[in-house]
Structure 1
Amino acid sequence: MRKIAYSILPALLLVWGCGNAQKQQSSQLTFTLIHKKIEKSKDSHQAITRYLLQGDELIVTNQYKGGRRGSSNETKKHHLTSEKISEISTYFTQNDFYQDITAKGAQQVVPGIFRDISLKITKKGQAYNLSYAGGYKFGKSRGETNKTYKQLIRFERFLKKMLRK
């Protein structure tokens, strides 16, 4: 009977350890930033950039459809240090990202450029969404740019700059 109990104990510890690992992962920061840019002209094309943070890995995917480039998919994985992850986390808190906003920009126009940007953040089990959808005609200024759009573009620039370092 004791031999059976001793052989079961490591398996129970392993299962208990896996349960704790899942709890720790759910408390970590994860986010998905998707930036779609659709250009409507003679050689209309669509560019989609996705940033996905899972654990300490930032996966960047670029998709192109149409236009002179044809179609292509590029995926790069970047391993982030704990310093960079905490830098991202403080960026969100400093810029007051934790608000549930769905802001609409100008109506989609043809020919022109239409952007659809969304950011989903999960931190300590809570989810936050920030999104913008809008467009403008070629040769016309966008006028007063939407505050949410500016926030999302700034965050994307922040990520690109971080990856260049």
Structure 2
Amino acid sequence: MSSSDTHRDHPVPRDALLFGYGSMIPFLAAATAAWTLPAPWPAYFVVMSIIWGALLLSFVAGVRRGYGFGNPGAWAKTEIVSVVAYVLPALTALTLVSLGSIASALFTLIIGFALVIACDRRAARCGNAPAYFLRLRGPQMSLAIVSLIALVVRVLEVAR
């Protein structure tokens, strides 16, 4: 069976699409605002996107852990590693932003969202996450990553 057949067998539920892509709107809005609004608004939107990103990574960690609790077949060790892999970048980003290291906080979130793509897709293949994560996580988290990259570029441009 090809991977495209597997994807068709596991459609993404509507609520997962709504909440999954809906949670990306603040990133897209922040990136747009950072590039189009006059000062001081871009700085506020950058910081808010860091806070939102940290919250979202923590939420995604909870989703994975919740799935592990509800699925006796999920590997507890894998689920715990995933939670740490998602929460650690979130906490690091919040610490960095509180220290004024905005670009580093954004880079940390980019790494965190890239980990979500890699880990959740692998987990879906192994039965440790819903099968539809194969279809959802890549495009969903790519929106966050692209938005965060746009914010990094803006922050670095303003700093010059």
TM-score, scaled to structure 2? 0.26
Q: Which protein, 1 or 2, shows the higher relative CO under an 8 Å CA cutoff with sep ≥ 6?
A: 2
Structure richer in helix, relative to its length? 2
Higher relative strand content: 1
